[in-house]
A = this chain, B = another copy of it.
Amino acid sequence: MTAPKHGKETSGTRDRILIEASRLLSTNGYRGTTTREIAAAVGISQPSLFFHFSNKRAIVEELYRRDLVPAVAGLENLIVAEASPAAKLFALIQGETTRILDSPYDMRAHISYEALNDPDLAPFRELIRQFDDLTNLIIRSGQESGQFDAGDPWLAQQMVSGFLARANLFVLSDEVRRQSHPEEAAALILRGLLSDPTTLDEVRSEAAALLARYVPDVPTPPD
C-alpha cells in the first residue's frame, strides 16, 4: 500500500521523495537505486522513507502510476479522435515529449529495459506494452491509408519509442530547445515516414488541434 502510516501528509516530503527517486531510478535503475540514496537526496534518514511509503516498490509504483496511466489514457484519446494517422502520430510525439518535459518527475526509467524485466515491476509491463501497441496501431493505419511508406511498422515504432526514451535528455538542454523540441522532433520523425513529405505542414496543423487530447494535466500530489 502507498497509504502513509499515519493520517494526512502535509509536509511535501512524500512528493520530494518521488521526484528524487525518479531521478535516481532513471540513472541507476530500480535495483541499483538504494533507499539510502533516495533518503540522502531528499535529506532525511533512510528509515524515514518508510513513514511515507510502505516499501521501496511502492515508491516506484506510484511513479509509474503517475506516468504511464495518463500516457496510455492520452494515447487512447488520440486513437479514437477523428484525424489522420499522421496527425495522430505527430501529436503523440509532440505531446509525449512535452508531457515528459513538463513533468516534475524524471521519467526516463519508464521505458528502460530493466523495467521490462524486474519482477517487482511486472504489473506495469502491461501498460508499457499497451503504449507500444497503440503506437504501432497508428503507424499501421497510416500505412494502410497510404499516408506512410510501406515498411516494417515495428521498425518505425522502435524509432519513435527509442526517441521518446531519450526525451528526458531534453531537460538538460536550454529553454529555447525545450520550447521547440517537441514539435521539431515530431516533424523530423514524420518526415521519415510520410509517403509524401510535402504534406508535412498539413499534418502539423492537423496535429495542433489534437494536442489538447493528448497532454494530460501534470499529476498533482494526491490528498
Contact = CB atoms under 8 A, between A and B. Distances in A.
A38 to B, nearest CB: 14
SS of A interface (majority): helix
B197 A26 contact: no
B161 A181 contact: no
- Chain A residues touching B, range: 35 or more
B28 A188 contact: no
A188 B197 CA distance: 13
Interface stretch (A39-47, A51-59, A112-120, A210-218): A112-120
B155 A114 contact: no
Interface in A70-122: 108, 112-114, 116-118
A155 B184 contact: yes
A32 B158 contact: no
Contacts of A156: 188
Interface of A: 26-32, 108, 112-114, 116-118, 149, 151-152, 154-156, 158-159, 161-166, 169, 173, 177, 180-181, 184-185, 188-193, 197
Given A161-B166, A165-B166, A191-B193, 14 more contacts: A29-B32, A29-B114, A30-B32, A32-B32, A152-B177, A152-B181, A154-B177, A156-B188, A158-B163, A158-B166, A159-B162, A159-B185, A162-B163, A197-B197
Q: Which 6 A-B pairs have the closest CB atoms?
A: A192-B192, A31-B32, A162-B162, A29-B29, A162-B166, A27-B117
15 contacts: A26-B113, A28-B114, A28-B118, A29-B29, A29-B114, A31-B31, A108-B113, A151-B184, A151-B188, A152-B177, A152-B180, A159-B189, A191-B192, A192-B192, A197-B197
